[in-house]
Chain A
Amino acid sequence: MDGGGGGLRRIGPFLIEKDLVAPPIRVLLVSAAALALAFLTAALVFWAYGVDPVLAYRTIFVETLLSSGGFAEGVRRAIPLLLAGVGLVLAFRAQFWNIGAEGQLLLGAVAAAGVALFAPLPAALLLPAMFLAGFVAGGLWAVLPALLKLRLGVNDVLTTLMLNYVAVYLVEWLIHGPWRGRTAFGFAYSDRFPEPAMLPLIPGTYVHWPTLLLALAGALAAWFVLTHTTWGYPVRVTGDNPEAARYAHMPVFRVVFAVALASGGFAGLAGVGEVAGVHGRLLEAYQISLGYGYTAIIVAWLARGNPLGAMLTALFMGLIFASGDVMKISLQMPFRVTDVFNGLILFFLISSERLLYYRVRWAPVRKGD
């Protein structure tokens, strides 16, 4: 430390100091810089693939942000991302490392399909029952690794992740086997859902607005619980310092259990929305979800623990998915391109985190110092 001000390092007239409380403007600036670097690096990958990066970005910009159809596609992708992302915000706040939103989403889709195809319910009750079943199925798929973590100390990252693969094969088994549609000659999908099991769309788009409203309400509810109720406090303490939480007789077990149920349940709801809003049947896992559960991790991370922030970050990542579509159609690039975006964005985001705790101050050296 050089004398006074907690200065760490001097670069020309600038002083770089440690500052542990990051104001929102700095969070925004650092995040924007990280995103810009991710896009620059992605440009290199495009160039290596043989696509002019300038053309690529112009195409993306014009066909997603400036076209109403493209923007609506982004919104439609943002729906599952927001639901799963809000769940992950809750999970990560309590240090339950749920990497399994993808599998929980698929379980939600399976449960919804089961109700839609086989439950003898009156038409009006069909959709509510599907959402309920989806929430429970997704929630249970997350509760299993949470219990293993709480009771045996099994690494939650690996178990939640492994269950993603199990969920994929469960879906495959159902559509190739017992739930294979009578009309699906040679194709692997279930029968079409009856009309009352389908969600209404905003005309001319694939935006299933009831799920969108549900996702927005979910984000608000999660924010309210975290910041304005007595339940949010134990969640935050459990995440920041589990030992302290235990010492203060906070119900760590119940907190992690509830957070796991909620986060898996939210992902399950996302799965219901995809099959009841977009596809109308159970089909291959990679068609139900384009990796929404994995991208939701970025949504949650980018939102920095704030469920309301997830509204913005889900839309952003939704637009990235929409640009994947655009690049596939207009530039004949494989859809894998979204993985490149996702990986780079996540990389630069977490790498930039250290920078949040430094501030740069204009402090020219005076003569005589």
Chain B
Amino acid sequence: MDDLVLAMLVRALAFGTPILLAGLGEIYAERSGVVNLGVEGMMAVGALAAFAVAQSSGSPYLGVLAALLAAALVSLPFALASITLRANQYVAGLALTMLGLGVSGLLGKPYEGAPLAHPLPEAGFIVTALLLAVLLWFFLQHTYGGLVLRSAGENPETVDAMGIDVYRVRYAAVIFGGAMSGLAGAFLSLAYRPSWADGITSGLGWIAVALAIFAAWHPLKAVGAALLFGALYHLSYRLQAAVSPEFLKAMPYLFVVVVLSLSALRKGPSGAPESLGIPYVRGERR
């Protein structure tokens, strides 16, 4: 019995890992004040970059590196539009998702269905994700850099008054968030599947965005939340025979709606950064 519980826990962790990785990145971006709805697109780009480089070079580690770089790179135009040009963050993120899915679907066509000689073990990604959660929590709550990052999202004027460039902080957070989405994508195409297919992310990026809210923008709570979503995915996999598969596929999305509503019902502050979604204009009062 214990073995069964343990096995289920491990599977839930594996399902939850891409959500956790990308969710941690989104938490950092949002703590700096920027909502990035492009996670799904960046994850797809990361997954393709990882697979393409791993397959042609023979080294999956080079693939992981490529995923980090490629996803960070595609987050740049989003950062430019939403931070420097102060465009609507939601719409800019949506554009990033369309672009990421479109470009990866197009350029990934030759890799569709190709085998991967050296896949990576899932365990490595799972452990990395858990370690990163602790590390990112520590950085955010107990270091000066973390304080600056949080202040950029709560009260950017203070950061400015400290002589620190708010834009630079937000750029760094968004680019880091991109790299984390890329890592999540690499997990999918190098370890979890391991292969490339158009639509490989299957909505996981959106769940990661919801995870940031559900976890109250807290890296450690994100672990629990990812485990919960992972368990749900696993459950839907196990229940295939009993319940219609379409209902089970829809369940995580319904769950997000329910979870967001429950989070809203929670008493007290939601934990949302004060200036979330609001572009910063230097030298102007809001």
Whether B260 contacts A159 by the Cβ 8 Å rule is yes
Whether A166 contacts B91 by the Cβ 8 Å rule is no
Whether B264 contacts A154 by the Cβ 8 Å rule is yes
The answer to whether residues A49 and B106 also contact, given A166-B254, A170-B250, A350-B81 and a CB cut-off of 8 A, is yes
User: Which residues of A sit under 8 angstroms from B24, Cβ to Cβ?
Assistant: none
Give B210's nearest chain A residue, CB to CB. A158
Say yes or no: is B99 at the interface (Cβ < 8 Å to chain A): yes
- For window 62-119 of chain B, which residues contact chain A by CB distance below 8 Å? 77, 80-81, 85-88, 90-92, 94-103, 105-107, 109
Whether A158 contacts B213 by the Cβ 8 Å rule is yes
Q: Give bound CA distance, A169 to B202, whole Å.
A: 13
Q: Identify the stretch in B9-17, B215-223, B241-249 within 8 Å (CB) of chain A at 4 or more residues.
A: B241-249
Give A295's nearest chain B residue, CB to CB. B98
Whether B246 contacts A173 by the Cβ 8 Å rule is yes
Whether B86 contacts A343 by the Cβ 8 Å rule is no
Whether A346 contacts B98 by the Cβ 8 Å rule is yes
- For window 228-260 of chain B, which residues contact chain A by CB distance below 8 Å? 244, 246-247, 249-250, 253-254, 256-257, 260
User: Which residues of A sit under 8 angstroms from B101, Cβ to Cβ?
Assistant: 336, 339, 343
Give A99's nearest chain B residue, CB to CB. B94
User: Which residues of A sit under 8 angstroms from B143, Cβ to Cβ?
Assistant: none
The answer to whether residues A346 and B210 also contact, given A159-B257, A336-B102, A351-B81 and a CB cut-off of 8 A, is no
Q: Give bound CA distance, A151 to B214, whole Å.
A: 18
Task: Give the residue among A48, A152, A162, A340 with the most B Cβ atoms within 10 A.
Answer: A162
Whether A158 contacts B96 by the Cβ 8 Å rule is no
Whether B253 contacts A152 by the Cβ 8 Å rule is no
Whether B98 contacts A343 by the Cβ 8 Å rule is yes
Whether A339 contacts B250 by the Cβ 8 Å rule is no
The answer to whether residues A169 and B261 also contact, given A157-B90, A297-B91, A347-B81 and a CB cut-off of 8 A, is no
Task: Give the residue among B86, B87, B95, B206 with the most A Cβ atoms within 10 A.
Answer: B95
Give B91's nearest chain A residue, CB to CB. A350
> How many contacts between A and B, using CB within 8 angstroms?
138
Say yes or no: is A193 at the interface (Cβ < 8 Å to chain B): no
User: Which residues of A sit under 8 angstroms from B244, Cβ to Cβ?
Assistant: 173, 177
Give B255's nearest chain A residue, CB to CB. A162
Q: Give B93 Cβ to nearest chain A Cβ, in Å.
A: 9
Say yes or no: is B271 at the interface (Cβ < 8 Å to chain A): no
Whether A353 contacts B99 by the Cβ 8 Å rule is no
Say yes or no: is B198 at the interface (Cβ < 8 Å to chain A): yes
- For window 317-369 of chain A, which residues contact chain B by CB distance below 8 Å? 333-334, 336-344, 346-347, 350-351, 353-354
Give A345's nearest chain B residue, CB to CB. B95
Is the interface on chain B under 10, 10 to 19, 20 to 34, or 35 or more residues? Answer: 35 or more
Whether B198 contacts A334 by the Cβ 8 Å rule is yes
Say yes or no: is B265 at the interface (Cβ < 8 Å to chain A): yes
Say yes or no: is B19 at the interface (Cβ < 8 Å to chain A): no
Whether A334 contacts B106 by the Cβ 8 Å rule is yes
Whether B103 contacts A354 by the Cβ 8 Å rule is no
Give A168's nearest chain B residue, CB to CB. B250
Say yes or no: is B175 at the interface (Cβ < 8 Å to chain A): no
Whether A165 contacts B203 by the Cβ 8 Å rule is yes
User: Which residues of A sit under 8 angstroms from B249, Cβ to Cβ?
Assistant: 169, 172
Among A49, A294, A297, A350, the residue within 8 A (CB) of B107 is A49
Say yes or no: is B37 at the interface (Cβ < 8 Å to chain A): yes
Say yes or no: is B209 at the interface (Cβ < 8 Å to chain A): yes
The answer to whether residues A351 and B261 also contact, given A49-B106, A337-B102, A344-B99 and a CB cut-off of 8 A, is no
Q: Give A329 Cβ to nearest chain B Cβ, in Å.
A: 16
Among A157, A170, A294, A301, the residue within 8 A (CB) of B37 is A157
Say yes or no: is A214 at the interface (Cβ < 8 Å to chain B): no
Q: Give B70 Cβ to nearest chain A Cβ, in Å.
A: 13
Whether A354 contacts B85 by the Cβ 8 Å rule is yes
Whether A340 contacts B103 by the Cβ 8 Å rule is yes
Q: Give bound CA distance, A177 to B245, whole Å.
A: 11
Say yes or no: is A163 at the interface (Cβ < 8 Å to chain B): yes
Whether B246 contacts A301 by the Cβ 8 Å rule is no
Q: Give A31 Cβ to nearest chain B Cβ, in Å.
A: 14
Whether B102 contacts A342 by the Cβ 8 Å rule is yes
Say yes or no: is A290 at the interface (Cβ < 8 Å to chain B): no
* Sample of 8 A–B contacts (CB below 8 Å): A99-B94, A159-B257, A297-B91, A334-B109, A337-B106, A343-B41, A346-B94, A347-B95
Q: Given A49-B107, A99-B90, list of 18 further CB < 8 A pairs?
A: A45-B103, A145-B257, A154-B257, A158-B213, A158-B260, A161-B206, A162-B206, A169-B249, A301-B91, A334-B105, A334-B106, A339-B101, A343-B100, A343-B102, A343-B103, A344-B99, A347-B95, A351-B81
Nearest 10 pairs of A and B residues by beta carbon? A339-B102, A343-B99, A336-B105, A343-B98, A173-B246, A346-B95, A169-B250, A340-B102, A152-B264, A350-B87
Interface residues of B (CB under 8 A from A): 37, 41, 77, 80-81, 85-88, 90-92, 94-103, 105-107, 109, 198, 203, 206, 209-210, 213, 244, 246-247, 249-250, 253-254, 256-257, 260-261, 264-265
Interface residues of A (CB under 8 A from B): 45, 48-49, 97, 99, 145, 148, 152-155, 157-159, 161-163, 165-166, 168-170, 172-173, 176-177, 294, 297, 301, 333-334, 336-344, 346-347, 350-351, 353-354
